[in-house]
Amino acid sequence: MRALLVELLREALRDAGVVRSNAPLHPRRQARAVAWLTGTLDDPVALPIGFVCDALGIDAGALAAAAQDALTAQLFPRGLPTTAFVVRGTATLAEQFLDSAALERLIPPLLEPAKPDQ
């Protein structure tokens, strides 16, 4: 967490023009950075997830995969549907669901190389 805060401070000082940088100053970013540094910024500040992950030493891809897994579990609490039918923009899921055990049992045979005709 300390690394994130240090990186935020460094970027804010750079955006405010206090620390020299080769990048040009952007008036809107400069005003927000000055407001943040002086404690007068009341608005939330959105940070790019890559910036936060880099500062915290987190793999952004792993974080995205974990978020996707959580979303999948929320959308399909009984597991992934085996089929879905879409009619007029509405998806109807089949009643048969596959859990992890069923997937581990059914998929490997599908991945085996085809046997040559004899």
3-state SS assignment for residue 25: coil
Q: How confident is the model at residue 92 (pLDDT cuts 50, 70, 90)?
A: low
Supply the pTM of this predicted model: 0.44
DSSP string, 32-79: HHHHHHTT---S-----HHHHHHHHT--HHHHHHHHHHHHHHHH-TT-
Flag whether pLDDT at 96 surpasses 70: no
Nearest to 15 by CA among 1, 2, 28: 28
The total number of residues shown for the chain amounts to 118
Q: pLDDT over 90 for what percent of the chain?
A: 0
Q: Residues 24-38: what's their mean pLDDT?
A: 87
60: its two tokens: 């952004």
User: What pairing do the DSSP bridges indicate for beta strands 84-87 and 90-93?
Assistant: antiparallel
Which comes out higher in pLDDT, residue 110 or 30?
Answer: 30
